[in-house]
């Protein structure tokens, strides 16, 4: 399953609130993500920087399906208050560029 990496940044002082909001994701949001093909979504935070790893069948399709979904629209409005640059859900991005992965490394081994 494809993995998409994303980076977002919190507004100054919103770290604790972001963590608290994510402690209990609404069940209807989780259901909408799964229905849109998301297998897993993990988020790491370093200060104000957020790093997401999304395992999803088709990232652009997921973004398209969720763009106008009522539960996602409400969630994105909530996140917009916390993020430096709110997500527009245009579906045109493709995530961060992969630089290297151990699973695909064919060099460097001693033979």
* 81 domain-assigned: yes
Per-residue pLDDT of 22-36, as tens digits, reads 999 999 999 999 999
Helix (H, G, I), strand (E, B) or coil at 55: strand
Residue 109 maps to a domain? no
Instruction: Report, as an integer, the average pLDDT of 94-111.
Output: 77
Asked whether residue 13 is domain-assigned, the answer is: yes
Is there a domain that residue 97 lies in? no
Q: Which domain holds residue 48?
A: 3-92
CATH number at residue 86: 3.30.70.100
**What does the block give as tokens for 76?**
């994105």
Q: Do the domain assignments include residue 108?
A: no
* Position 111 pLDDT exceeds 60: no
**Nearest Cα residue to 8 out of 74, 76, 71, 70:** 76
Question: Which tokens belong to 25?
Answer: 């994701």
* pLDDT given at position 91: 65
Separation CA 8–CA 18 (nearest Å): 12
Residue 40: per-residue pLDDT: 98
Residue 85 has pLDDT above 90, yes or no: no
* pLDDT classification of 107: cutoffs 50, 70, 90: low
C-alpha distances in angstroms, 36 versus 8, 15, 64, 101, 111? 21, 28, 9, 26, 44
**Reported pTM:** 0.86
Distances (CA, A) of 7 to 23, 42, 87: 19, 12, 11
Question: Tokens 């409005």 correspond to what residue?
Answer: 77
CA distances from 49 to 28, 29, 45, 60, 110 (A): 26, 23, 6, 23, 37
Flag the least confident range among 23-27, 45-49, 93-97, 104-108. 104-108
111: in domain:
no
Q: Report the domain count for the chain.
A: 1
Q: Is residue 83 part of a domain?
A: yes
């Amino acid at each position: 399953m494809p993995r998409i990496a994303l980076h977002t940044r919190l507004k100054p002082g919103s770290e604790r609130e972001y963590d608290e909001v994510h402690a209990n994701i609404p069940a209807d949001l989780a259901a909408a993500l799964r229905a849109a093909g998301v297998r897993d979504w993990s988020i790491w935070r370093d200060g104000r920087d957020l790093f997401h790893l999304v395992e999803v069948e088709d990232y652009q399709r997921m973004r398209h399906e969720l763009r106008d979904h009522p539960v996602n629209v409400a969630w994105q409005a909530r996140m917009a208050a916390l993020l430096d640059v709110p997500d527009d859900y245009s579906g045109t991005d493709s995530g961060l560029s992969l630089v290297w992965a151990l699973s695909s490394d064919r060099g460097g081994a001693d033979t």
